[in-house]
Structure 1
Amino acid sequence: MSLSTSLANALSGLTAVSRRAEVVSSNVSNALTEGYARRELLLSAQSLGGNGAGVRIDGVTRVVDRVLLADRRLADADAVNAALRTDFLSRIEGLIGAPGDAGSLADRIASLEATLIQAASRPDSQARLQEVVDAARGLAGHLNTLTDAVQQARMDADDSIANQVETLNLTLEQIDRLNTEILAQRSSGRDATALMDERQRLIDRVAGIVPVREVARDHDQIALFTTGGAILLEGNPAKIGFSPVGVVTADMTLASGALSGLTINGMPVPSTDGGVLGGGTLGAALAVRDELAPSVQSQLDALTRDLIERFESPSVDASLAPGQPGLFTDAGAALDPTLEVGLAGRMRLNALTDPAQGGALWRLRAGLGAAGPGDVGDAALLTALSHALSASRVPSSGAFIGAGRSASGLAADVLSGVASARQQAESRQSFSVARQGALTELHLGDGVDTDAEMQALLLVEQAYSANARVIQAIDDLIQQLIGL
């Protein structure tokens, strides 16, 4: 081997170890950078005329376990989906309140029953009649508040869907631009790994909104597909469409067209958590708006209908005229079974019994349709109202088993249904979070190990020193030849 060949070999070695030192330095400095993938320098033997001609730098590659990364992204999406479902159900459960808690739904029904019993023992007492009115107004107000909370959750979900769709479209466009830039960098022979890191971070953002699968294409390009089968990026990014509404009321549904669904490139797609764009935060928002909240509202409406029906029967208050509402009304009117949706938000205390609305307390004793106060010692109606509240009857609507129950029992069933759904959501969330944690730990295990990088740096130093000594030896030989 000639001196010039040896010198060229040593110089190529110095270049390679210098580049490797840069790679190691980048790994160590970005050990805690989110989305950063460990780099490795690719080297191969270089030959010239069948003889060794040093080392060639083939490029820098990112070390990524794509299968593990894909599984971790799916786990992330499932975890945030379950968390949003649990948060909604926990919030509603807290607003309904547990039996025995002051101000809970069960407590307000029990309070109304207790005040009716107390008033029946002293029907002439204005104070006790006023307590009945206050308890009834409090019960109606609590159901109104629950409805407001449920519909506010739907409005928040609708706004969230709009924001997530906007973020999704913007992020897909950014990923598409990075694809183009990475291709340009590769074509010109430059390092594009930093752009790939940024693309990975953006894909992680998309994966939280909609679970996706990343598919590698030629020349370091990628395509994105949802787990439901929708194409988000294949050459060009998809355009997700959604039209938010300003106000959501109980009667507004996706099926009626009052609420917007999702579209992909102008084509409608199933807009449910189990649809092509479901599974992440977007699917959870759709579930809250169109499934979970309407289900809770339906149960509240069924309970409200049962309460209204208990008091508007002529067998309870014989003074009621046909079509006249009882103690509770639908926004002042009698119950219309065909207009049950949102009834819990419209439930009102009959103004005839409320002095604050121009009514009279004596109507609780004499009857809502009575012409005068009657006998101040007559407790028959108050007793009948109390019995109506505690009587066992089969609900006219709602997803309840067909068995008779008191008003308190029906309220307990509503709470039980929400609590059961919340427990199921929590169970799913616990599993999802545990799976997410395990996959995240495995994914991080493929990241930068600073101890290993320091060891690699020692090898780089030794290789550099060896190549430098070869160059020094060649220089000494040349100097000796020149001096001959």
Structure 2
Amino acid sequence: MISSAIASALAGLQIASRRTEIAARNISGSTVEGYVRKEGRFSSGPLGLQYDGIIRAADLPLAREAGQERAGLAGMEAELTARTSLVQRLGDPRTGNDLGSSLTRLSQALTQLGNRPDDIVLQQEAVDSAGETARFLNSLSKEVQNERLFAQRSIAADVATANDRLAAIQKLNEEIRVVPPQGDASDLLDARDKAVQELTTILPVRVSQRPDGTVTLLTETGVTLLDEKVHELQFAGGDAMGPELAYDRGRGGLPGLTVDGIDLTPGSGAPQAIRTGRLAGSFAVRDQVMPQAQRQLDALASTLARAFQQADATIGASTPQAGLLVDSAAPDAGMGAGTVTGLAGRLTVNPRVDPARGGEVWRVRTGVNATSPGEVGDGDQARRFARIFEQSYDFDPAAGLASNTSLIAYANQITDAQQAGKSALEANKSYQSSLVTSLEARLADNQGVDLDKELQDTLLFERSYAASAQVLQTATRMLDELLQRI
């Protein structure tokens, strides 16, 4: 009986020591990102509980759900950043620094000139107002292309990070595979789960557990990223960007995203294209959101230039010539009927009316192609220019806005549409953020460390250790007394 008591006490000391060690490990790991609470695995033995190793309090289904929602949030954030920059550049109608207000000032300048066509100051103001509108469109087009280029660089950076995470997961898989059955691989599993979480923010992945503790990774559409080896994401990157550039599957243009030759490019129509994550958000900015904004700006620029051209009495309908606003790439050519890709970035005042470039400012009163100044009091041409802002025009329907409206109304629609898109995305992001926060809170409850509980358990384990030690001391004294009597 004394021997049994000693054996039980020793077992109790071991169990209490193990539990205290695990509690201390949890306390120290509570500040480590990605740490999952550890618990001892015990079973019944001939002398009571026996220690069988460590298990992780990992909630894999909940972690998978949280990862998918984080991916959705990351995609929204990437798109919202670009939309916010464009909306800020478009300006605010309430302060008069927006595109519609710029056109209104141009309309007013031409109206005033029509009333006082002989006023050289008003002539210069009309030319300056036309230049202001052209430069505003230039700056907006530049902003659009800068956002596209930034998105492309972000894609390249995320692809490099994703491949790095895949390599790290493969290495951890190899280390986990060689851990003996009774060994402790929990820290390796924590590190692997953290790497998977980081990867999922970039693009969602499906994780499949293997009997040996390793995992395989596939995209949400079933393309293998990791099995016995890493299947790297491929993206050519590059700093080339312009309104004319687009992703065209297999036919050049901007680079796409592939794995082992399989097209994963979001929005490309490929059957295995990824749909969410930060990569999807960046591709949406590069290939959808900003190109649509460019189409809207180009539609306004081309319609405005054609309106001035058609209102110019010195330009024949059969042989169009350059009007008040022209394409800087072909300043002597007239505008065709269709939208010119990227024109918003190239629109400029006709050099023939710009004194800074050798032109004569009186041409804004007479018509751009007039051969002489004519009657200084003739304001008919200026009034014809001013009336273009009172008419309705057919705009390119591919831009997604009203196809028949006035120039100023269309400019306001561009601002309103971009603001509406930003506001809708902000609302979606707010909901998604709340969802992610809720899931992460549940995940923390299920697999995180509760410091108060760990400290309380530590006290209990210390008392258990002390009790087992007391039993061992008592049994030792009993044995000593028996030996003295023999």
TM-score by length of 2: 0.93
The yes-or-no answer on 1:305 pairing with 2:292 is no
The yes-or-no answer on 1:227 pairing with 2:213 is no
In structure 2, give the amino acid aligned to 1:177.
Answer: K
Shift of the 398–219 alpha-carbon distance from structure 1 to 2, 3 Å rule, reads closer
The yes-or-no answer on 1:25 pairing with 2:20 is no
1:482 and 1:295 map into 2 onto residues whose CA distance is 95
1:405 and 1:353 map into 2 onto residues whose CA distance is 28
Look up the SS of the partner of 1:59 in the other structure: strand
Shift of the 345–261 alpha-carbon distance from structure 1 to 2, 3 Å rule, reads same
8 Å contact from structure 2 (residues 397, 403) kept in 1? no
8 Å contact from structure 1 (residues 229, 276) kept in 2? no
8 Å contact from structure 1 (residues 242, 263) kept in 2? yes
1:265 and 1:130 map into 2 onto residues whose CA distance is 61
Give the CA deviation at 1:120.
1.2
In structure 2, give the amino acid aligned to 1:89.
Answer: R
Residue pairs, 1:119-134, within 5 angstroms = 119-134=113-128
The yes-or-no answer on 1:291 pairing with 2:285 is no
2:217 and 2:280 map into 1 onto residues whose CA distance is 18
8 Å contact from structure 1 (residues 326, 350) kept in 2? yes
Give the CA deviation at 1:399.
3.2
| 1:341-400 deviation digits (Å, cap 9, x = unpaired) | 111111111111100111101111111111100000000000000001221222255435
2:385 and 2:134 map into 1 onto residues whose CA distance is 16
In structure 2, give the amino acid aligned to 1:25.
Answer: A
2:155 and 2:300 map into 1 onto residues whose CA distance is 30
8 Å contact from structure 2 (residues 292, 399) kept in 1? no
Moved more, 154-163 or 450-459: 450-459
2:403 and 2:342 map into 1 onto residues whose CA distance is 24
Give the CA deviation at 1:101.
2.5
Look up the SS of the partner of 2:295 in the other structure: helix
Give the CA deviation at 1:103.
2.8
Alignment gaps of 5+ in structure 2: none
8 Å contact from structure 2 (residues 73, 433) kept in 1? yes
Residue pairs, 1:352-391, within 5 angstroms = 352-391=352-391
Equivalent residue number for residue 434 of structure 2:
434
Equivalent residue number for residue 246 of structure 1:
239
1:364 and 1:452 map into 2 onto residues whose CA distance is 81
Equivalent residue number for residue 5 of structure 2:
6
Give the CA deviation at 1:64.
1.4
8 Å contact from structure 1 (residues 307, 389) kept in 2? no
Residue pairs, 1:456-471, within 5 angstroms = 456-471=457-472
8 Å contact from structure 1 (residues 227, 276) kept in 2? no
Look up the SS of the partner of 1:248 in the other structure: coil
Give the CA deviation at 1:214.
2.6
1:339 and 1:392 map into 2 onto residues whose CA distance is 16
1:229 and 1:270 map into 2 onto residues whose CA distance is 14
1:237 pairs, out of 226, 230, 239, with 230
1:209 and 1:451 map into 2 onto residues whose CA distance is 35
8 Å contact from structure 1 (residues 273, 287) kept in 2? no
Shift of the 63–401 alpha-carbon distance from structure 1 to 2, 3 Å rule, reads closer
Give the CA deviation at 1:432.
0.5
Shift of the 452–149 alpha-carbon distance from structure 1 to 2, 3 Å rule, reads same
Shift of the 386–24 alpha-carbon distance from structure 1 to 2, 3 Å rule, reads same
Equivalent residue number for residue 55 of structure 2:
61
Equivalent residue number for residue 39 of structure 1:
38
Look up the SS of the partner of 2:359 in the other structure: coil
Equivalent residue number for residue 418 of structure 2:
418
Look up the SS of the partner of 1:102 in the other structure: coil
Look up the SS of the partner of 1:75 in the other structure: helix
Equivalent residue number for residue 215 of structure 1:
208
Look up the SS of the partner of 2:39 in the other structure: strand
Q: How many equivalent residue pairs?
A: 475
In structure 2, give the amino acid aligned to 1:192.
Answer: A
Give the CA deviation at 1:338.
5.8
Give the CA deviation at 1:31.
1.9
Shift of the 192–400 alpha-carbon distance from structure 1 to 2, 3 Å rule, reads closer
1:403 and 1:217 map into 2 onto residues whose CA distance is 57
The yes-or-no answer on 1:266 pairing with 2:261 is yes
Shift of the 400–160 alpha-carbon distance from structure 1 to 2, 3 Å rule, reads closer
Shift of the 273–174 alpha-carbon distance from structure 1 to 2, 3 Å rule, reads farther
Residue pairs, 1:90-239, within 5 angstroms = 90-187=84-181, 189-239=182-232
8 Å contact from structure 1 (residues 8, 54) kept in 2? no
| 1:221-269 deviation digits (Å, cap 9, x = unpaired) | 2222332332222332221100012220110110152111111123333
Give the CA deviation at 1:123.
0.8
Look up the SS of the partner of 2:388 in the other structure: helix
Moved more, 431-440 or 100-109: 100-109
8 Å contact from structure 1 (residues 98, 106) kept in 2? no
1:458 and 1:289 map into 2 onto residues whose CA distance is 58
- State the identity %: 31
TM-score by length of 1: 0.94
8 Å contact from structure 1 (residues 186, 219) kept in 2? no
1:337 and 1:375 map into 2 onto residues whose CA distance is 32
1:402 and 1:60 map into 2 onto residues whose CA distance is 65
2:140 and 2:383 map into 1 onto residues whose CA distance is 29
Equivalent residue number for residue 476 of structure 2:
475
In structure 1, give the amino acid aligned to 2:260.
Answer: N
| 1:94-121 deviation digits (Å, cap 9, x = unpaired) | 2112324333111110110011011112
Give the CA deviation at 1:93.
1.6
8 Å contact from structure 1 (residues 69, 443) kept in 2? yes
Report the RMSD for the aligned CA atoms in angstroms. Answer: 1.8
In structure 2, give the amino acid aligned to 1:226.
Answer: T
Give the CA deviation at 1:192.
1.6
The yes-or-no answer on 1:277 pairing with 2:274 is yes
Equivalent residue number for residue 49 of structure 1:
none
